[in-house]
Amino acid sequence: MAHMTGGEAVARTLEALGVTKVFGIVSVHNLPIYDALTRVVGIEVVRARHEQAAVHAADGFARATGRLGVALTSTGPGAANAVPGLYEAKFGSSPVLMITGQTESSVYGKGKGFVHEHETQVEMLGSVVRRVESVRRPADIPTIVDLVGRDCLTGRPSSGAVEIPIDYQYLEMDHEIPGPRPIDRRQSDIELIEQAAELLSGAERPLIWAGGGVVSADASPQLIALAEKLDAPVITTLEGRGAIPETHRLALGPRTERPAMTPIIEEADVVLAVGTRFQNYSTRVWRLPIPGRIIHLDADPHMIGLNYRAEVGIVGDAQLGLAALGEAVTGGNTDSGYLDRAAKSVEADLERSREEIGPDHQAICGIIRRLLPDDAVIVRDSTVPNYLWGNRTLPILAPRTSMRPSSSSIGPGIGLAFGAAVGSRARTFLMVGDGGFQLLIGELASIAEYQLPIVICVFNDGGYGVLRIIQDAVLEARTGVDLHTPDFAAVARGMGLDAASVDSVDSFEAVFAEAVERPGPTLIDVAMGGLAPMSFRLPPHQRRP
């Protein structure tokens, strides 16, 4: 028990939770927390320029490090600005805690028109987080912050939020700070593990389907060990990228929805799905046939059987569950012909992708992977080049080095890259379209302030390229998709970054090579009109009936 303000109680509880970075914007309704954080030696307050970007940055930090990402915002308009970031973190199963203020307790909930008042803020935040709490007694501050922070990290990770009235933040009283404790990992039922191991040991064509839960549980070593023991190929979702290096002989890459891989999936007699909910895009909106016997291991019991029926459903932590399966299986019985056919399907899909993206984008993809370090974090916003080659042919070599807006929203990329670079301190590469980039372009100032090692490639086609394609395919006219774009290189230089504009493969390679070696940030404005065009066909579910 120690005498301190409510703001200090927040700071000390975050310290006990192992928090080292807090992203946010200072406000009259969070000043005591900011003041206290500056006096905790192990915590750095990282300044963003917009609350949405602050939460995206906390999300990027969490995905890159596996630790709790924390954002601190004002109440009312500041908390409302943060909602898209909390939505993305929950959709992407990322452990992000937002702490926000609230009006004085004497006027809270009365709708009197107090500055930044939002009497139903809890309901607003509750729509985009797994758990939200409002502090109603000053003494409860440490308990509630600890409770919600730990909930974000437990089981399937998620976002959470806490609101604290401003007078409670200033109030001095005795507080008891919860001590640091490990997060519980759920052990799998041993009988179900044995059933699954028997199926896998006898399978002739086993397939492992690895989702984002493998990465978030730091279960990559256990996944690879099991795959090698069974000699089973591993296909990943987009969130599962990096669970196995995509250069590994058993890696099929993020190709669950690709036509070339459908026969391999259909041929599998046993499918072990780990840390996945079989999201719509990864299954062609659940039209993908998976006829084999499915073993589904997931930390969230609600995911098992949600979209595909599981013969064996195992609730448990991916790392512990895969380790138990690795011990229980008796060895592989895999048909070598199945492995050969899988490898040939990957090559066929790569060849088709190369044809779709054309020679220039193919060359740029190769340049990026060749010049980036293996541990570089690759962030891909929602843009046509990402859909066509960032998600498909740009190899990911390690866990926690791949991220994208899981909800397929446009714009979070710059915030995710900001937080990932802060957390990993590794070279970070961001590919983003000009439309999405302009949503949070102000974060260039944050990146410049901290001189982060980020290379930003803005693939500039003067508008919303994906929506152009959809409109051209299913509608009679274009509406709202063509944009006036600024001189991004000039804007970046004005913000304090190095920057250049390129319009060819040769100019891109020269500028990118310099950017990768530069200790600080660089923006490269890539004029897509100067590159050989790509071929993009809409998925069947987006075509006109």
Q: What angle do CA 369, 65, 76 make, to 5 degrees?
A: 115
- pLDDT score of 264: 98
Q: Encode burial over 164-195: b for 16+ CB neighbours within 10 A, e otherwise.
A: bbbbbbebeeebebbeeeebeeeebbeebbeb
CATH of 190-334, one of 3.40.50.1220, 1.10.599.10, 2.60.40.420, 3.40.50.300: 3.40.50.1220
> What does each C-alpha distance from 424 to 45, 457, 458 come to in angstroms?
16, 20, 22
- pLDDT score of 473: 79
Q: Say if CB 298 and CB 315 are below 8 A apart.
A: yes
> Under DSSP, is residue 423 helix (H, G, I), strand (E, B) or coil?
helix
Rg (CA), the chain: 24
Task: Report which of 532, 408, 410, 527 is spatially closest to residue 458, judged by C-alpha positions.
Answer: 527
Tell me where in the chain the CATH 3.40.50.970 domain(s) lie: 2-175, 346-542
Q: Encode burial over 519-534: b for 16+ CB neighbours within 10 A, e otherwise.
A: eebbbbbbbbeebeeb
Task: Report which of 487, 486, 490, 469 is spatially closest to residue 478, judged by C-alpha positions.
Answer: 469
Q: What is the CATH number of domain 346-542?
A: 3.40.50.970
DSSP state of 463: B
Here the tokens at position 77 are: 């308009």
- pLDDT score of 536: 66
Strands 251-253 and 234-236: parallel
CATH topology of domain 2-175: Rossmann fold (3.40.50)
Dihedral class, residue 285 (left if φ above 0, else alpha if ψ from -120 to 50, else beta): left
Strand residue runs (E) in 440-520:
454-460, 498-502
Task: Report which of 185, 157, 183, 174 is spatially closest to residue 12, judged by C-alpha positions.
Answer: 174
Here the tokens at position 116 are: 């930044």
Residue ranges of the chain with per-residue pLDDT less than 50 = 541, 544-545
> What does each C-alpha distance from 5 to 37, 108, 178 come to in angstroms?
12, 20, 16
pTM: 0.96
Express each pLDDT in 443-486 by its tens digit.
999 999 999 999 999 999 999 887 888 888 788 778 888 899 99
Helix axes 336-371, 505-517, angle to 10 degrees: 80
Distance CA 277, CA 262 (A): 18
Task: Report which of 212, 216, 214, 240 is spatially closest to residue 226, judged by C-alpha positions.
Answer: 214
Distance CA 166, CA 164 (A): 6
Tell me where in the chain the CATH 3.40.50.1220 domain(s) lie: 190-334
> Under DSSP, is residue 498 helix (H, G, I), strand (E, B) or coil?
strand
Other beta carbons within 10 angstroms of residue 65's beta carbon come to 17
- pLDDT score of 468: 85
Distance CA 447, CA 60 (A): 14
Name residue 426's beta-bridge partners. none
Distance CA 182, CA 184 (A): 6
- pLDDT score of 543: 53
- pLDDT score of 545: 46
